[in-house]
Structure 1
Amino acid sequence: MTPAEIRERGLEALREALGPVGMARFLQQFARGSGDYTRDREEWLGGLTVQEVVKDIKSRRKRVR
């Protein structure tokens, strides 16, 4: 079988076993993202410590209430 045939049969099996919505939900679990999360996370958080993040979360929660 070609890769396209395998993909077609696999999707058909998923659709039969899970239904269209279940198949879509299953496939969403394997969608590839883009970028480099580790590098991006370092850029977002910088040198923040866990304690600083917790303090910020608590502060934001107080403002929302």
Structure 2
Amino acid sequence: MSLEQIRVAGMAALARELGIVGMVRFLQQFETGHGDYTKERHEWLDAQDVDTIVNRIREKRATHKKKN
């Protein structure tokens, strides 16, 4: 199948299973990104050491537990 055929079949499946309104609502959840994620990821991750990243994860988990 070509990419076009896959796209058309996917849209048909979404419309069939979700209805037109459901298909539109589903598709609105996604947007085309911009930039170069891989390059940007290295820019912000390379600037941090592992301990800093681990501490941020622990802080987020602690905050999440307090909310729940």
Normalising by structure 2, what TM-score? 0.45
Normalising by structure 1, what TM-score? 0.46
Larger Rg: 1
